[in-house]
């Protein structure tokens, strides 16, 4: 496990711009440390970036992603707070389950569409 990554290493790995990484920092999603003015990204920052981009692909907004990320920041020691956290986790899980239902429905419709195309081709005497 590398100790630090430079900003350009991450831009290349994830195919995003430096602007995007600085934007996420401005938004408080990541906090790379500094050596002088230069940003040093730790493995944990790198993993956060991975989570952010995954969230984006799933259509979560920056604010929603921020909420998800906060879940992983140092779980509280106090019982009430822990219970609240579990509640928030379950809300996020429900969000994801809704997305999964949407996804399965969309996939099913595409499957159906593909099938009619294949049938149509068969009628035209084309063997797929």
Partner DNA sequence: GTTTGAATTGACTTTTACGTAAATGCCATG
Partner DNA sequence: CATGGCATTTACGTAAAAGTCAATTCAAAC
Q: Quick one: which of 51, 62, 66, 67 contacts its own copies (CB under 8 A)?
A: 51
> Is residue 70 within the footprint of DNA (CB under 7 A)?
no
100/58 Cα distance (integer angstroms): 10
Tokens for 104, please give them: 């399965």
What's the min distance (Å) between Cβ of 127 and DNA? 39
d(CA 8, CA 26): 17
Write out the two tokens for 113: 């569409």
Residues with Cβ within 8 Å of 7's Cβ and at least 6 positions away in sequence, in order, are 18, 21, 32, 39, 41
Interaction residues for its own copies, span 59-98 (CB under 8 A): 59-60, 68, 71-72, 75, 77, 79, 82-83, 85-86, 89-90, 92-93, 96-98
- Please list, in sequence order, all residues whose beta carbon lies within 8 angstroms of the beta carbon of residue 1, skipping any fewer than 6 positions away: 43
Structure tokens at 106: 């969309």
Interface stretch with its own copies, choices 1-9, 13-21, 29-37, 57-65 (CB under 8 A): 57-65
Interface residues toward its own copies, by CB under 8 A: 51, 54-60, 68, 71-72, 75, 77, 79, 82-83, 85-86, 89-90, 92-93, 96-100, 102-103, 105-107, 109-111, 113-114, 116-118, 120-121, 124, 126
Interface residues toward DNA, by CB under 7 A: 6-9, 16-20, 22-23, 27, 36-39, 56, 61-63
């Amino acid at each position: 496990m590398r100790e630090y990554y430079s900003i350009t290493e991450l831009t290349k790995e994830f195919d995003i711009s430096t602007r995007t990484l600085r934007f996420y920092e401005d938004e408080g999603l990541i906090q790379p440390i500094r050596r002088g003015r230069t940003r040093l990204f730790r493995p944990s920052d790198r993993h956060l970036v991975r989570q952010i981009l995954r969230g984006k692909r799933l259509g979560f907004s920056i604010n929603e992603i921020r909420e998800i990320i906060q879940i992983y920041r140092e779980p509280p020691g106090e019982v009430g707070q822990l219970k609240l956290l579990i509640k928030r986790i379950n809300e996020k899980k429900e969000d994801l389950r809704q997305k999964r239902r949407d996804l399965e429905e969309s996939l099913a419709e595409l499957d159906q569409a593909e099938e009619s195309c294949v049938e149509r081709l068969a009628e035209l005497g084309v063997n797929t």
